[in-house]
Amino acid sequence: MSIGVDQWVETADSRRLGPSGWWGRGLHRWKSLPPWGRLAIVVALAALVPLFASDFIVRVGVNALLLALLAVGLNVSVGWAGLLDLGFIAFYGFGAYAFALLSSDQIGVHLPTLVAVPLVVVATGLLGVLLGLPSRRLSGDYLAIVTLFFSQIFLELALNFDRLGVDLTGGPNGIAGVTPFHLFGRSLSSPTSYFYLFLLVLTVVVTALFFLERSRTGRAWRAVHDDALAAEIMTVPVNRVKLMAFAGGAAIAGLAGSLFASFQLGVYPLNFQVQFLIVIYAALILGGSGSLPGAVLGGVVVAVLLDLLRDPGQASAAFYGVIVITLIARVRPWRRLGAIVGATVLLGFIVHLVATTLWPSAFEGEVESTGRLASVLDSWIVVPTEPATAGNWAYCALIACLLALPLLRGWRRDALVVPTLYLAAFVWETRLVGEPSITRQLLLGALLVVMMLARPQGLIGTPRVERV
Amino acid sequence: MEFFTQQLVNGITLGSLYALLAIGYSIVYGVIGLLNFAQGEVYMVGAFIGFGVLSGLGGPSALAVPVALALVLMFAAAALGSGMLGVLIERVAFRPLRDSSRMAPLITALGISIFLQNSVLLLLGPDIRNYESSSYIPVTSGIHVGFLRISLVRILVIVTAVVLMVLLTLFVKRTHLGRAMRSVSYDREAAAMMGVDIDRTIMSAFFIGSLLAGIAGVMAGLVFSRVFQLMGFVAGLKAFTGAVIGGIGSIPGAMMGGMLVGLAESFTSAYISSTFQNVIVFGVLVLVMLIRPRGLFGRREIRKV
Amino acid sequence: MSRSLLELRDVSVSFGQLKVVDGLDLSVEEGEIVSLIGPNGAGKTTVFNLITGVYTPDSGSIHLDGTSIVGRPPHEIATMGVARTFQSIRLFLNMSVRENVMVAGYGRTTARPWQSIVRTRKARREEHEERALAEELLSFFGQRLVGYRFDQPAYSLSYANRRRLEIARAMAARPRILLLDEPAAGMNPQETHEITALTSRLRDEKGFTVLVIEHDMHVVEGVSDRVVALDHGAKIAEGSFEHVALHPAVVESYMGKGATVTG
């Protein structure tokens, strides 16, 4: 112990607070690994996936890796530099189209992969600078809308370019017949080979960004995010740094775009609508904006969840699963959780009994899920023969309940949770399960709202402190 | 020449619509320094509410009440409904995040925007609703002076917009609430210390802005007939463009900016190309951002360091 | 006669109709500690903002060691040798203590993004040097900001430590002149005493020239070689502390007409 130093201060490390129990111990062990160790473990685990899974799962994996890459790219401009970059989808689309142009019959150019990809990445980076230029002096909201407008414009150009005389983009039909990646003499064709390619690219990009985060550039970005004016007065050329953030995010998006184009063997305008931009944002926000592992995690989780939504049975499992997990994670003590769950189950059975006894013909519908879950649900949820109208009213009631929940306290709130849960299940079975594309968007929108209000730092991000 | 005046009229009609929406953006920006991303969706909901009232009164071809009354009811319902929706949005998305970063309320509003769009899609289905204004407002009525031909619908829209803008300007300048809004826009803390009820003022700003959006939605239905879930998105973008060009936070600026965008769109669509009208409007925005970022009437921000 | 390190000549700036700084002449010689005093609203922080390039003067000139800095962007002026702290502390709250200090080294360093990614020898060396410099500067304040504190987020620091961190950050920009905006604001008497000693150490040990805005006259008295008093944007007195503190115009600006001060 050095002279004059408080013993209390010296032993601060030993008093660091963290989660307890086996979860906390595991977490501590994980955190004490060196970064490359953690990365190696994750990559190794991921690499095992294609060996034990079907082609379908491997495809889901490819989508997950792609979304993770996109989230990581968005993290550069949004998470680190704090720029609300809604033009990201246009960079992705530009990268995809640019690669398609260089690898298809559209303009008759077929560049080797290792030439085309770097070209596309650089070109997209430049586009990022271009978009950044008029936006330099704009603060968050202006920037958001200008970049959003840009995304819209990109889509319109992609759809209508042929009307300018030169058919560069294939119009609404896009560009088909993109040649797959050609590396070391071999053409990649199977989902498995693409899985490993995407995994490799993601690993390289994450490693590069890891070093960048800790460099002067990364510090400059984060400083600009925290207090752009102070940063400028402390020698940081804020405008230039913002442009670099745009360019960096755009370049990664361009890379992702070329990967996507070659995997899908084509590019179509509808791949790059604002809906997908929301998906990327949801991935980053869920995982943790500002955190590299958060972006990867968010990308994987959102991609998997969205893929699960395609099949009603799996979607239902995921839906109920997420609700149950959230309840378990957030409702304490156990007695309270038990009371709520018990009451909800009871309510369901009672409603079902009453409804089917009194109006048997009105409630002949069936639950969409399959398997054992379905048989249980069938006696718990009452499904009207005409689900749509009742479902719609229930939806409105559900929204009302959800809005009312934060306004209540104590036992009243818990009491409201019970019918809310039942309504949620009801709405799910009667309306949402049958409309997967709408449900996707609804859940994504709701995710953004809930995350920002309840846990803005995402699953594994660190909470930010804002200057008041 | 006739073609030109036609486009001029179109442009002014469109511009009135955008101006109302743009004012909504500016009012909200004025009091909280943030953009209400969900404004476009509020406009869309207003259009649907108007249609709902129209159907409830018998539908376009069989109105049970006189046309004037029907229109008043449509506007009133949309105004009220949208206004309340705006207040709800403020409570849910903006108030809890008032002191957090700039990004949080924006992303939340973005989420709400998506949620609203898709909720309407879920509840009302994907079918396009049609106001069929020609059924109850004869197309041939209106002003007909030489080559100047303005249909009644357009007159209605323009006049309503102008009246609203005048009322709003008076409101902001003369009433207590209007002054409160202006004071909050300059310095929220100081306003609070002077006894201004910040929560109520902000809520009122959202109410008024959304009310205008709702009325604009009904206007859109009357002029364009087609009402659909995604109509708020691009209209919102263009109205925002108008607000920015005019100087965000400035109400006269929003009026001018919205009008300019409407005229630009109309003339571009007619004389240059209708497919690329959005591209060109966007180009104009970028130009203004480069040359005069604070817009025509924007205040120069004095940074306190 | 050698030129001053910092020279403002006839500088004026108005915000709308309000003239905030009015024909100000101010010069600071190398190695001096000059205090800028005046009642609230006198324009002192505005002077800092003018020097650092946040505002551009409507008229007049500002020279740093003979070179004009008017019209240059703030980051350029900072790299040329002007660093400051803020009246209301403006740290990068979500960055660590060490990182806050290292940010100020941006203007001096040159590692490009690709070099940082690939970790060239030059990039690594630069990073190592910046880290060492940051830690050395932080140790200027004793044990308070060292050790485990290096990696703590800035928002976890106490008020006094935040002020110290801000000064460390300003030092890291390796300025010719350090502008301290009310460094003792919000401090208790002991901390205030520390700030006074600190300011002198900044000049004596580190060789910085210092221009301080301060309200606490004890600090001003203990620290200044020279005091400049402002009111309504104009200079009303200049000289030693004793001369300025008892100057009738200064007394009037603080206390109103007819007030007297017994020395």
Question: Who wins on pLDDT, A362 or C210?
Answer: C210
pLDDT tens, residue by residue, A310-326 = 887 788 888 888 888 88
- Distance from the C68 Cα atom to the nearest Cα atom in chain A, whole angstroms: 17
Architecture of domain C6-95+173-255: 3-Layer(aba) Sandwich (3.40)
Query: pLDDT class for A1, splitting at 50, 70, 90?
Result: very low
Distance of CA C190 to CAs B43, C141, C146, C160, C219, Å? 60, 14, 21, 11, 12
pLDDT surpasses 50 at C1: no
* Binary contact (C15, B305; C-beta < 8 A): no
Q: In the A/B pair of chains, how many CB contacts fall below 8 A?
A: 140
B108 touching chain A per CB within 8 A: yes
Q: Where in B31-147 does DSSP place strands (E)?
A: 129-130, 142-145
* Binary contact (C45, B303; C-beta < 8 A): no
Chains sharing 3 or more CB pairs under 8 A with chain B: A, C
pLDDT mean over A40-46: 93
C85 touching chain B per CB within 8 A: no
pLDDT tens, residue by residue, A230-286 = 999 999 999 999 999 999 999 999 999 999 999 998 899 988 998 899 999 999 999
Q: Which pLDDT value is given to residue A238?
A: 93
| Domains identified in chain A and CATH numbers | 53-308 (1.10.3470), 315-430 (no CATH)
Q: Which pLDDT value is given to residue A221?
A: 97
Chain C residues within 8 A of B303 when measuring between CB atoms: 54
pLDDT surpasses 80 at C186: yes
Binding-face residues of A in 85-144 toward B, CB within 8 A:
133-135, 137-142, 144
pLDDT mean over C177-183: 95
pLDDT surpasses 50 at C243: yes
A212 → closest Cβ in C92, C116, C142: C116
Residues A285 and B108: beta-carbon distance below 8 Å: no
pLDDT mean over B173-183: 86
Q: Which pLDDT value is given to residue B282?
A: 83
- Distance from the B186 Cα atom to the nearest Cα atom in chain C, whole angstroms: 15
pLDDT surpasses 80 at C138: yes
Q: Which pLDDT value is given to residue C206?
A: 92
Chain A residues within 8 A of B37 when measuring between CB atoms: 144
pLDDT surpasses 90 at B287: no
Q: What distance in Å separates the CA atoms of residue A440 and residue A460, rounded to the nearest whole number?
A: 23
Q: What percent of chain A stands above pLDDT 90? A: 42
Question: Across chain A, what does the average pLDDT equal?
Answer: 87
Question: Who wins on pLDDT, A3 or A225?
Answer: A225
Q: What distance in Å separates the CA atoms of residue A249 and residue B230, rounded to the nearest whole number?
A: 28
Query: Of A12, A29, A467, A407, nearest to C162 (Cα)?
Result: A467
Three-state DSSP string of A156-207: HHHHHHHHHCCCCCCHHHCEECCCCCEECCEECCCHHHHHHHHHHHHHHHHH
Report how far Cα A147 is from the mean position of its chain's Cα atoms: 19
Those residues whose C-beta lies under 8 Å from the C-beta of residue A457, and which sit 6 or more positions away, are A288, A289, A290, A463, A464
C94 touching chain A per CB within 8 A: yes
Q: What distance in Å separates the CA atoms of residue C149 and residue A404, rounded to the nearest whole number?
A: 43
Q: What distance in Å separates the CA atoms of residue A443 and residue A445, rounded to the nearest whole number?
A: 5
Tell me the three state secondary structure of residue C34.
strand
CB count within 10 Å of CB B61 equals 8
Chains sharing 3 or more CB pairs under 8 A with chain A: B, C
pLDDT surpasses 70 at B217: yes
* Binary contact (B112, A150; C-beta < 8 A): no
A32 touching chain C per CB within 8 A: no
* Binary contact (A145, B112; C-beta < 8 A): no
Q: In the B/C pair of chains, how many CB contacts fall below 8 A?
A: 7
B302 → closest Cβ in C15, C48, C86: C15
Q: What tokens appear for B184 in the block? A: 């909050």
B275 touching chain A per CB within 8 A: yes
Angle, helices B251-267/B152-174, rounded to nearest 10 degrees: 160
pLDDT tens, residue by residue, C48-100 = 999 999 999 999 999 999 999 999 999 999 999 999 999 999 999 999 999 99
B279 → closest Cβ in A141, A148, A153: A153
Query: Of C235, C241, C179, C233, nearest to C216 (Cα)?
Result: C241
pLDDT surpasses 70 at A16: no
Q: Which of A31-35, B119-123, C195-199 has the lowest mean pLDDT?
A: A31-35
Question: Who wins on pLDDT, A448 or B281?
Answer: A448
* Binary contact (B303, C54; C-beta < 8 A): yes
Chain C residues within 8 A of A205 when measuring between CB atoms: none
Q: Which pLDDT value is given to residue B302?
A: 60
Query: pLDDT class for A199, splitting at 50, 70, 90?
Result: very high
C156 touching chain A per CB within 8 A: no
Tell me the three state secondary structure of residue C28.
strand
B305 touching chain A per CB within 8 A: yes
Chain A residues within 8 A of B96 when measuring between CB atoms: 453
pLDDT tens, residue by residue, B186-205 = 888 888 888 888 889 999 99
Q: What tokens appear for C49 in the block? A: 């903002």
φ and ψ at C36, to 5 degrees?
Answer: -110, 115
pLDDT surpasses 80 at A17: no
Residues C6 and C208: beta-carbon distance below 8 Å: no
* Binary contact (A452, B97; C-beta < 8 A): yes
pLDDT surpasses 70 at B46: yes
C155 touching chain B per CB within 8 A: no
pLDDT surpasses 90 at B301: no
A220 → closest Cβ in C83, C93, C103: C103
Question: Who wins on pLDDT, A141 or B8?
Answer: B8
- Distance from the A33 Cα atom to the nearest Cα atom in chain B, whole angstroms: 33
Q: Which pLDDT value is given to residue C263?
A: 53
pLDDT tens, residue by residue, A239-255 = 999 999 999 999 999 99
Question: Who wins on pLDDT, B201 or A355?
Answer: B201
H helix runs in chain C, sequence order: 44-52, 74-80, 97-103, 113-118, 121-138, 159-172, 189-204, 217-223, 241-245, 248-255
Q: Which pLDDT value is given to residue A291?
A: 94
pLDDT tens, residue by residue, B155-172 = 888 899 999 999 998 888
Residues C82 and C52: beta-carbon distance below 8 Å: yes
Q: What distance in Å separates the CA atoms of residue A458 and residue A442, rounded to the nearest whole number?
A: 19
Q: Which pLDDT value is given to residue B241?
A: 87
φ and ψ at A368, to 5 degrees?
Answer: -80, -25
ipTM: 0.94
Q: Which pLDDT value is given to residue B108?
A: 92
Domain ranges for chain C:
6-95+173-255
Q: Which pLDDT value is given to residue B106?
A: 86
Please spell the DSSP secondary structure of B176-234, one letter per residue: HHHHHHHHHHH-HHHHHHTT--HHHHHHHHHHHHHHHHHHHHHHHHHHH-EE-TTHHHH
In terms of CA atoms, which chain B residue is nearest residue C87? B305
Q: What tokens appear for C6 in the block? A: 């910092």
In terms of CA atoms, which chain A residue is nearest residue B304? A229
Question: Who wins on pLDDT, C54 or A20?
Answer: C54
- Distance from the A252 Cα atom to the nearest Cα atom in chain C, whole angstroms: 14
pLDDT tens, residue by residue, C16-50 = 888 999 999 999 999 999 999 998 888 899 999 99
Q: Which pLDDT value is given to residue A15?
A: 63
Please spell the DSSP secondary structure of B123-141, one letter per residue: HH-SPPEE--HHHHS-TT-
Which residue is associated with the tokens 């000549």? Answer: C9
Q: What percent of chain B stands above pLDDT 90? A: 35
For chain B, helix, strand, coil in percent to 5 are 75, 5, 25
- C contact test, residue of A11, A206, A235 with most C CBs within 10 A: A235
In this structure, the strands spanning C33-37 and C226-231 are: parallel
Query: pLDDT class for C134, splitting at 50, 70, 90?
Result: very high
pLDDT surpasses 80 at B304: no
Chain C residues within 8 A of A4 when measuring between CB atoms: 142-143
C74 touching chain A per CB within 8 A: yes
Q: Which pLDDT value is given to residue B20?
A: 94
Query: Of B121, B97, B122, nearest to B36 (Cα)?
Result: B97
- C contact test, residue of A233, A255, A464 with most C CBs within 10 A: A233
Q: What percent of chain B stands above pLDDT 70? A: 96
B275 → closest Cβ in A78, A144, A160: A160
Q: What distance in Å separates the CA atoms of residue C143 and residue C154, rounded to the nearest whole number?
A: 16
